[in-house]
Amino acid sequence: MKDFSDGWLYQTGQNRDARFPDYVDHSWVKLDATEAGDQTDIKTSTPPRSSQSWYRKHFSLPADFRPHTIALLLGGTRYPCKIYLNGHDLGYYANGNLRLECDLTPYIRYGQDETNVIAINLIPDHPSEISPSHVSLNQTAKLRIHHPVHIRPSSVRIETLRAEPDAAVLSLEAAIVNNSREDQSLTLYTQILNTTGEIVAEQTQEITSLAQAHSLSTTQLVISQPKLWQPNSPDQYLLVSSLLQGELLLERHKSNFGIRTLKAEAEENLIYINDQPTPIKGVSLSPCSQSTSSWEKQLSRLQSSGVNMVRTTDGLPSLDFIETCDKLGILVQIDTHSMQRTENHSHQKSYEWQARNLRQLIGSYRNNPSVIAWNLDNAPLKGVRYTHSRPLVEICLEEDGTRPINLKSDFPPFPEDQSAN
């Protein structure tokens, strides 16, 4: 992972030519990463209000990076955005609150004498909504540099099949990506560590990964005498997945998780965590950009007043926020804002953006034990019916079948299938 937070340039206003690498940006505002507690924000201190704004960054990569997969990681952009590399359109991201991972590999120029230019165009739906504190690339920007054969991070899935005092059974899943031109004989070594660093379960799998293809690794592990995650004792474990080619370590991926089962009973208006009824005492909270220490103080105060759950509103939560809730034992319902784009775009185009963003969100947070529900939207735009959400419900079930799915709408649900309510 390479830090990518410094050296950004910033300008407000519409400028179609800013996407091209030879555009002259010498007069743009020069930005450096400024420390904000435990996290880094890339932003201007007092950017003027504008309908659009641009960020640009010049960088080089050595020639020996050529076989690797290069991706840009952003904590979010607050507003919808388009991303360009060397003038090439890398895609439109309709929900700027999500953490973004954008593949740069096809258009990278390699070698220290070659300069690459990333351009990010922020395009708010409603210019009047822009505020000086929100025009930013939220959190740290990084380059993820993968070996051609690697574990796709968003594919890692940890599910608790059984959680009892004597033993827990876990289902583990991960996608192995082979971008090389040859089949690979690999070893996937999986470890689960407790909070003291002790290995409580481990397994070795031999995998044949076909060239230019993805393969799915699935397995189950048993942990004896597990410490279960629940609000009054939020114990966690660490999954370490090491991908080897012979003796060579290609990649190591780490995921924190908690062992817990979840069941929702709509008629009882209750949820059951590890088969124990858990009454909800919740508040709505805007997960704006803050440091980890700030979130810990704020959430601890809420918890001391009796709150055990928050529903995120007006934006998507950062990883810092969710991991703090994991640590404190605070339950979270995430508003995914998955149905906000149908006002200005065709239904098909909106669905493409919604589907991509929703998959990315669920892939980011499905292993976090504090997250107990996905809310497709709290207040969809006028004309958005339950039938529009049906493909998105199917995505939720495909990416994570363990949590309830909510949607508020003023229209009746699925006239042709009342059971889908």
355: number of Cβ within 10 Å? 15
Q: Which two tokens stand for residue 322?
A: 């969710």
The reported pTM is 0.81
pLDDT tens profile 270-324: 899 999 999 889 999 887 666 678 889 999 999 999 999 999 887 778 788 899 9
pLDDT tens profile 31-68: 754 432 233 344 444 444 456 889 999 999 999 888 88
Q: pLDDT value at position 291?
A: 67
Please state the separation of Cα 225 from the chain's center in Å. Answer: 31
Domain range 2-146, CATH class: mainly beta
The CATH 2.60.120.260 domain(s) of the chain lie at 2-146
Q: What is the mean pLDDT of the chain?
A: 83
3-state secondary structure of 121: strand
- 139 by Cβ neighbours in 10 Å (0-12 / 13-18 / 19+) ranks as buried
Please give the average per-residue pLDDT across 362-391, as a whole number.
Answer: 79
Q: Does pLDDT of 417 surpass 50?
A: no
The CATH 3.20.20.80 domain(s) of the chain lie at 262-420
- The strand ranges marked E within 225-325 are 229-230, 233-234, 237-245, 248-257, 262-265, 270-273, 276-278, 282-285, 309-312
3-state secondary structure of 138: coil
**Which residue is associated with the tokens 């993968």?**
146
Confidence of residue 338 (pLDDT cuts 50, 70, 90): low
Superfamily name with CATH number, domain 262-420: Glycosidases (3.20.20.80)
> 313-324 burial by CB neighbour count: b if 16+ within 10 A, else e?
bebbbbebbbbb
Confidence of residue 332 (pLDDT cuts 50, 70, 90): very high
pLDDT tens profile 10-38: 888 888 899 999 999 999 988 754 432 23
pLDDT tens profile 138-159: 556 888 888 899 998 889 999 9
Domain 150-257 part of CATH 2.60.40.10:
yes
Confidence of residue 92 (pLDDT cuts 50, 70, 90): confident
Q: Which two tokens stand for residue 116?
A: 């690459």
User: Is 165 within 8 Å of 225 (Cβ atoms)?
Assistant: yes
Question: In percent, how much of the chain has pLDDT > 90?
Answer: 50
User: Is 153 within 8 Å of 84 (Cβ atoms)?
Assistant: no
What's the N-to-C CA distance of the chain in angstroms? 43
Looking only at the bridges linking them, the beta strands covering 116-122 and 81-85 are: antiparallel
The CATH 2.60.40.10 domain(s) of the chain lie at 150-257
Distance CA 133, CA 141 (A): 18
* 299 to 45, 183, 260, 296, 310: CA distances (angstroms): 27, 49, 21, 5, 9
